[in-house]
Amino acid sequence: MRVLSRLLITSLVASPNLVHAEDIDVRPLEPMTVTTAAQRGLDLDTPSNAGSRLGLSNRENPASVAIADRETLDLIGARDLQDAANILPGINLASFPGRGGFVSYRGFTGAQVNQLFNGIPLAYVIAARPVDSWIYDRVEAVGGPSSFLYGASSVGGSLNYVTKSAQRVDQEVTARLGIGSFDTKSAAIGVNKAVNETNWVRFDYSYTDSESHINRVERRADTLALSWLTDLSDRLSHTLAFEYQEEQVDNPYWGTPTLTPQLGTIRIDKGLRKKNFNVEDGIYQQRVRWLRSVTQYQFNDKTSLQNTLYHYGAKRDYRNLEGYRYTDASNTLVRRQSGLLQRHTQEMTGNRLELTHLGQLFNRQSDWALGLDFNVNRHTGYPTSSGVFDTVDPFNFAPRKFEDLGLGSLQRGRSNRVEMASIFAENRQGLTERLSLVSALRYDSIRSRLQRQRGGEAFRGDWNTLSGRLGVVFDLNSDVMFYAQYSTSAEPPGGTLTTSNNSSLDDFDISKGRQFEVGSKFNYLDGRGTATIAAYHITRRNFLTRDPNDNTVFVQVGQQSSLGLEIASTLQITDTVRADGNVAFVDAEYDKFFESGESRKGKTPSSVPKRVANLWLIYEPDVSWQFGTGLRHVASVYANNENTTWLPAYTLYDAFVSYNLNQHAALTLRGRNLSNKHYAYSGSGAQYYVGEPRSVDLTLDLKF
């Protein structure tokens, strides 16, 4: 597939003889940039399914909803879904092979933040590993509990990655070629084509080959999306969509050992900032496929029915040496340990049926969404691990090969099978001309089965959850609205049932979360500016914590809370200069939590920054040129729940210049981390991950 797809890109981009004007109905060509910068930025009035099934606009939704659309992703040069998500208010997402896309949002992390693809939750953190962004249309974020929308979990919020799909346009062809630092080479193409008056197809493909700022790391990735839209009648349509992702990382980077003693600000020897401590033939591989069948029937102008049948399959392989730490306070020798030979396989099949009706009740607008959802999610692990491997001079050692660990072959471990059946309802009821009530309710029935390595059922668990939200929206006038909402979440014991074991499941109930949120969304300065502001308080109760009297036993008494403020704005400063920015403040703490026999009450959870901010300034002197500069600030985060070690804060500066060669092509030069800031984007006390240093890339974008 990789060779064939490369040939397609080369042929379509470099061989115009393959596409003849007399063979296709080409639409009038448009410039590569939007004519006025004021058309971009925060959009409060376009209907969206983000944060609601009723197609509410951001202004109508009593919640904090943020969207990074395709134009925004291109503007900031988002290479993958990590770059895409981190432009949204309050999001701090880090990617590394072992933990997928690890998110901090509103004071919560990991499985407490739901990550979905096209509205489908996978209930497995590693499944949300950020992939190349080309095939995605947008990223949506909903702050706080959203179990009413996506099912169990999501106390901190939800991220939804939406794939490009076939649209009813005659023809659209886009392509991108790029080169950059670390010997990066990339190519991508997207084609949307009308087959006839009732059929449209779309093909998107991207290829990336890159080395790294860390020695010996090399990454290759292919992403493919195919979709076929058919109008079977005036009222009935069907979309068949397929996505495939393949990624291989040779000698993946698992962090750099931190200097001892590990107290206060954790540091590394900067002479090791490029050093890779993995074995010389380490591997991370993943192969992911999605298949969706979406059928829509429009009964009339007010009532529609949609059915989504979906299947997901993935296989991930690890063969690495992942742990490194100094042997003593002299910081002269590093112990390499934690060899891991592992495979994860996951399959999920499900079906979602949704009925939407736009009606009236008591002579006021009353819109309804009702639905059923059912899925079966199965995960199997093949874990084999080892302890200490060797002790080396960190500046001069032979990486050695994985076979030297003596781990043998893959051994099948436990399997988790999770079935979830759900029923949900949502309503928006007009109360007066200016006031509306938005409510939602969802019931989930969850059944979990855990199978031992050599067969036989080890655990059976059944839970029933109820979650919802109640919100009011008040339109002060056409420019200003205020809202308030109360929402709840339900989280299975252990956080993720697909990988839980007996000790985190046995005899435990559902963990509950709740949020109070107030906010406003408004235009200002005669419409030149648009802003959103949200204040919230979230409490998560009855999650698992270690028994203070017996560290080997879990008890379900934990409580965690967060209090925060998020602000986002777009301002058209002049006709040619625009500013886009957001800032989020959060104060998160454990109210009741035990670890290693000690109380962590009043401590801040690890990996939660108290401030995250983004700012972009865009200057467009004419339709040919575009200049931009941006910054991202992430506050210091604790590296442990004891709050005795922390990673320092960092601020990164980016910039780009783009020139439209003609109405078909644009050339963009982009610099990242221009100050060459040394920083850690994630880590623990023993080792942390060094962020990318200064880099540049050059891309050629084509549009026909």
Give the residue-averaged pLDDT of 126-149. 93
* Confidence at residue 505, expressed as pLDDT on a 0 to 100 scale: 62
Average pLDDT over residues 129-136: 93
* Residue that the structure tokens 């914590």 belong to: 545
pLDDT tops 60 at residue 11: no
Q: What are 487-535's pLDDT values in tens digits?
A: 999 888 766 777 777 665 666 788 899 999 999 999 999 999 999 999 9
pLDDT at 139: 96
pLDDT score at 454: 61
**Amino acid 453: pLDDT:** 64
**HEC profile for 630-678?**
EEEEECCEECCCCCCEEECCEEEEEEEEEEECCCCEEEEEEEECCCCCC
Check pLDDT > 60 for residue 672: yes
Per-residue pLDDT at 127 exceeds 90: no
**Sorting pLDDT into bands at 50, 70 and 90, what band is 196?**
very high
Percent of the chain residues past pLDDT 90, beyond the cut: 78
Give the domain range for residue 146.
2-703
Confidence grade of residue 604 (pLDDT, cut at 50, 70, 90):
very high
In the predicted model, what is the mean pLDDT of residues 610-618?
A: 98
Instruction: Write down the pLDDT at residue 688.
Output: 92
For the stretch 244-255, pLDDT in tens is: 999 999 999 999
From 65-74, 126-135, 346-355, 673-682, the region with the lowest mean pLDDT = 126-135
Over range 446-473, report the average pLDDT: 84
Cis peptide leading into residue 261 (ω within 30°): yes
* Residue 404 token pair: 């030297």
Q: What is the pLDDT of residue 552?
A: 65
What does pTM read for this prediction?
0.92
* Residues 629 and 655 sit within 8 Å (Cβ to Cβ): yes
Mean pLDDT (whole number) for 645-654: 97
Q: DSSP for 169-224?
A: -SEEEEEEEEEETTTEEEEEEEEEEEEETTEEEEEEEEEEEE--SSTT-EEEEEEE
Q: How far apart are the first and last CA of the chain?
A: 25
Name the residue with higher pLDDT: 669 or 500. Answer: 669
Name beta bridge partners: 362.
Answer: none
Cα–Cα distance for residue pair 621/623, rounded to 1 Å: 7
**Helical H runs in 265-418?**
none
pLDDT value at position 684? 81
Q: What percentage of the chain reaches a pLDDT higher than 70?
A: 91
Residue 19 has pLDDT above 60, yes or no: no
Neighbours of 456 (CB within 10 A): 7
Residue 455: pLDDT band with limits 50, 70, 90: low
Question: For residue 444, what is the domain's CATH number?
Answer: 2.40.170.20
Residue 287 confidence (pLDDT): 96
User: Among 146-150, 607-611, 660-664, which is the least confidently predicted range?
Assistant: 146-150
pLDDT in tens, 21-31: 333 343 343 44
Q: What is the pLDDT of residues 324-348, one digit of tens each?
A: 999 999 999 999 999 999 999 999 9
Q: How confident is the model at residue 545 (pLDDT cuts 50, 70, 90)?
A: confident
pLDDT at 40: 66
Provide the pLDDT for residue 318.
95
Per residue in 43-81, pLDDT tens?
899 888 889 999 999 999 999 999 999 999 999 999 999
Q: What is the mean pLDDT of residues 581-590?
A: 97
Q: What pLDDT score does 504 carry?
A: 58
Q: Is pLDDT at 606 greater than 80 in this prediction?
A: yes
Residue 41's pLDDT band (boundaries 50, 70, 90)?
Answer: confident
pLDDT at 29: 38
The angle at the Cα of 630, spanning 188 to 125, to the nearest 5 degrees, equals: 60
- pLDDT tens for 168-194 read 999 999 999 999 999 999 999 999 999
pLDDT given for residue 18 in this prediction: 34
Burial class of residue 212 in the structure, from the number of CB atoms within 10 Å of its CB (0-12 exposed, 13-18 middle, 19+ buried): buried
